A and B are shown apart, each in its own frame.
Chain A
Amino acid sequence: MPVIYDITLEIGYRYERAAGSSRTLLRMLPPTRVDQQLLSGAVTVSPPPDFRLDRTDFFGNAMTEIAHTAPVQETKFRFQGRVRRSPNINPMDLSCPYDRLPSDLAATRSIDALSPHHFLGRSDRVTPGGDIADFAQSIAEPGMTTRALVQAVSSRLHSEMAFDPVATEVTTAPDEAFRARRGVCQDFSHIAISALRTLGIPAGYVSGFLRTLPPPGQERLEGADAMHAWVRAWCGAETGWVEIDPTNAIWAEEDHIVVAVGRDYADVAPVKGSLRATGGQKSTHSVDVVPVD
Chain B
Amino acid sequence: MQAETLNDLLAGYTPRSGVADELFAAPGQLRPVWQPLIDHMAGLGPDVLAQRFARGDQYLADAGVYFRQHTASGSDERNWPLSHVPVVIAAPEWRALSDGIVQRAELLERVMADLYGPGRLVSDGLLPAELVAQNSEWLRPVVGTRPPSGHFLHFLAFEIGRSPDGSWFVLGDRTQAPSGAGFALENRMATSRVFFDHFSGSNVERLAGFFRAFRDAANGLRHDGQGRVAILTPGQHTDTYFEHAYIARYLGFLLLEADDLKIDNGLLTVRTVSGPEPISVLWRRLDSRFSDPLELSEESTIGTPGMVSALRQGAVSMLNCLGSGVLETRAMMAFLPRIARTLLGEPLKLPNIATWWCGQPRELDHVRRTLDRMMIGPAQSTRLPFEIDGATVLGGSFRGSAQRPIDDWLATDAPNLVGQEAVTLSTTPAMIDGQLVPRPMVVRVFAARTPQGWTVMPGGYARIGRTEDPTALAMQNGGSVADVWIVGDRPVSRDSLTAQPDGPYVRRAPGVLPSRAADNLYWLGRYVERAESHVRLLRAFHLRREDAGDAETTLIDHLSRFISTFGLDTAQPMPTALLAQFDTALNCAGKVRDRFSTDGWHALNDLAHSAHAMAGTAQPGDDAARAMTVLLRKLAGFSGLVHENMFRFTGWRFLSMGRALERADHTLALLETFCDLKAPAGSFDVAVEVGDSVITHRRRYAVATTRSTVIDLLALDEGNPRSVIFQADLLRREETELPRPEHGPRMTDLGRRILRLQTDLATITPERLTTRRIGGLRRDFAAVSEALTDLYLV
Tell me which of A91-99, A116-124, A160-168 binds B.
Answer: A116-124
How far, in whole Å, are A229 and B306 apart by their CA atoms in the complex?
Answer: 26
Say if the beta carbon of B136 comes within 8 Å of chain A: yes
For window 27-74 of chain A, which residues contact chain B by CB distance below 8 Å?
50-51, 53, 57-59, 65, 67, 69
Check if B141 sits within 8 Å of A111, measured CB to CB.
no
Say if the beta carbon of B293 comes within 8 Å of chain A: yes
Chain A 102-130 interface mask (CB, 8 Å, partner B; 1/0): 00011011111001011011101000000
Query: Could you tell me the distance in whole angstroms from the C-beta of A122 to the nearest C-beta in chain B?
Result: 7
Assuming the contacts A25-B294, A25-B295, A110-B123, asked whether A53 and B130 have C-beta atoms less than 8 A apart, the reply is no
Check if B134 sits within 8 Å of A67, measured CB to CB.
no
Say if the beta carbon of A139 comes within 8 Å of chain B: no
Q: Which residue of B lies closest to A106 (CB)?
A: B128
Check if B143 sits within 8 Å of A109, measured CB to CB.
no
Say if the beta carbon of B264 comes within 8 Å of chain A: yes
Assuming the contacts A23-B305, A23-B306, asked whether A124 and B298 have C-beta atoms less than 8 A apart, the reply is yes
Say if the beta carbon of B384 comes within 8 Å of chain A: no
User: B309: which A residues are within 8 A, CB to CB?
Assistant: 23, 53, 65
Check if A115 sits within 8 Å of B306, measured CB to CB.
no
Query: Could you tell me the distance in whole angstroms from the C-beta of A236 to the nearest C-beta in chain B?
Result: 15
Say if the beta carbon of A159 comes within 8 Å of chain B: no
Within the complex, which residue of A59, A111, A120, A274 is in contact with B132, where a contact is CB–CB below 8 Å? Answer: A111
Most buried by A among B125, B133, B136, B295: B133
How far, in whole Å, are A51 and B129 apart by their CA atoms in the complex?
Answer: 36
How far, in whole Å, are A180 and B220 apart by their CA atoms in the complex?
Answer: 58
Count residues of A near B (Cβ-Cβ below 8 Å).
31
How far, in whole Å, are A92 and B128 apart by their CA atoms in the complex?
Answer: 32
Check if B119 sits within 8 Å of A110, measured CB to CB.
yes
Count residues of B near A (Cβ-Cβ below 8 Å).
31
Chain B 118-150 interface mask (CB, 8 Å, partner A; 1/0): 010011110011101110100011011000000
User: B134: which A residues are within 8 A, CB to CB?
Assistant: 117-118, 120-122
User: B680: which A residues are within 8 A, CB to CB?
Assistant: none
User: B570: which A residues are within 8 A, CB to CB?
Assistant: none
How far, in whole Å, are A67 and B315 apart by their CA atoms in the complex?
Answer: 16
Say if the beta carbon of B219 comes within 8 Å of chain A: no
Q: Is the interface of B mostly helix, strand, loop or mixed?
A: loop
User: A220: which B residues are within 8 A, CB to CB?
Assistant: none
Say if the beta carbon of B262 comes within 8 Å of chain A: yes
User: A100: which B residues are within 8 A, CB to CB?
Assistant: none
Check if B263 sits within 8 Å of A111, measured CB to CB.
no
Say if the beta carbon of A285 comes within 8 Å of chain B: no
Within the complex, which residue of B133, B141, B264, B293 is in contact with A274, where a contact is CB–CB below 8 Å? Answer: B293
User: B294: which A residues are within 8 A, CB to CB?
Assistant: 23, 25, 272-274
Check if A111 sits within 8 Å of B119, measured CB to CB.
yes
Most buried by A among B136, B144, B265, B309: B309
Say if the beta carbon of A21 comes within 8 Å of chain B: yes
User: B263: which A residues are within 8 A, CB to CB?
Assistant: 23, 67
Check if B133 sits within 8 Å of A118, measured CB to CB.
yes
Closest 4 CB pairs of A and B: A117-B133, A274-B305, A58-B140, A121-B134
14 extra interface residue pairs, beta carbon distance < 8 Å, beyond A110-B129, A115-B133? A21-B262, A21-B264, A23-B263, A23-B305, A23-B309, A25-B294, A50-B265, A105-B130, A108-B129, A117-B129, A117-B130, A120-B130, A121-B134, A274-B294
- Can you list 17 contacts pairing A with B, beta carbon distance less than 8 Å? A23-B263, A23-B294, A23-B306, A51-B265, A65-B306, A67-B264, A108-B129, A110-B119, A111-B129, A111-B133, A115-B129, A117-B130, A117-B133, A120-B133, A121-B134, A122-B136, A273-B294
B residues engaging A (CB < 8 A)? 115, 119, 122-125, 128-130, 132-134, 136, 140-141, 143-144, 262-266, 293-295, 297-298, 305-306, 309, 794
